[in-house]
Amino acid sequence: MPASAQPYHETFAAALGVLGGRARRVRGGRAVADAIEIIARQHSDSASVLYEPGGLVDDVALHLALRARGVKLVSVESAGAQPAAFEIGLTSVELAIAQSGTLLIGGDVGGWGLVAALPRIHIALLRTSDIEPDLSAAFPRFERAFSHGQRNWVWVSGPSKTADIAMQLVTGVHGPNMLEVLIVDDQPGGRG
C-alpha cells in the first residue's frame, strides 16, 4: 500500500518511530488503562502518574480503571511543588501531524505543558480523529482554536534530545527520554 493511502495513524506511528517515540493503537478504555498500567509498572518504582487535566485523561472511567489497577493519577494542580518528582506524565493530545510525528498538547490557557516536559516518561493519549495528515491540513483547526482564544500549545516530536554536550546526541536531558503515544480508536470505520 503506498504511503499516501495508509491511514493517518500508521503514518504518524512511523514518523514518530523515526524520532525515537513509540505509538500504538488501543481499542477501548480497558486497553488504555492496561497500557498505562504496564508502562507504569515496567518503568517506575511508583504507581503514581502525574497528569494534566483535559481531553481523554479526564474520562471518569479511565480514572476508575486505573485506580482498580493500583495506579494513582495525580493532577498537576494537586501535585503542588512536586511535579518534577513524578517519573511518569500523562497528557491528552489536541492534535497530531502524521507526516512529522508531531503532537500538539494544551491549547487552553490552563495547559501548562509541565506534564509533557518534566517526567522521565511521557504517555500521550491521542484520538484517531485528531490526527491530520500534514501541517497544511491542520490549519483550519488552528484557525478555529485561535478564534476561541487557544494559543498555549506544546509541540512534541519524540523524546527530548540535544546535541549540545560534546556534539553527541543525548536523549532525555531536557525532558522525557521516553514517549509513548496511545492512539485511541474513535473512528472504527473512518480514516484514522
Q: Which of 127, 177, 175, 110 is nearest to 12 (CA)?
A: 127
DSSP state of 71: P
Range scoring the smallest mean pLDDT among 72-76, 112-116, 119-123, 153-157:
112-116
Q: What pTM value is reported for the model? A: 0.86
Q: Which whole-number Å values give the CA distances from 191 to 11, 38, 186, in the listed order?
A: 12, 28, 10
- Phi (first) and psi of residue 142, to 5 degrees: -60, -45
Question: For the chain, how far is it from start to end, CA to CA, in angstroms?
Answer: 16
Q: In the predicted model, what is the mean pLDDT of residues 164-171?
A: 61
**3-184: what fold?**
Rossmann fold (3.40.50)
With a CB cutoff of 8 Å and minimum separation 6, the contacts of 27 are 184, 185
Sequence ranges of the domains in the chain: 3-184
Q: Collapsing DSSP states into helix, strand and coil, what is residue 138?
A: helix
Q: For residues 14 and 1, give the distance between their C-alpha atoms in angstroms, rounded to a whole number.
A: 14
> In the block, which residue shows the cell 524520532?
19
pLDDT in tens, 37-64: 999 988 887 788 999 888 888 887 899 9
Query: What CA dihedral angle connects 144, 145, 148 and 152, to 10 degrees?
Result: -160
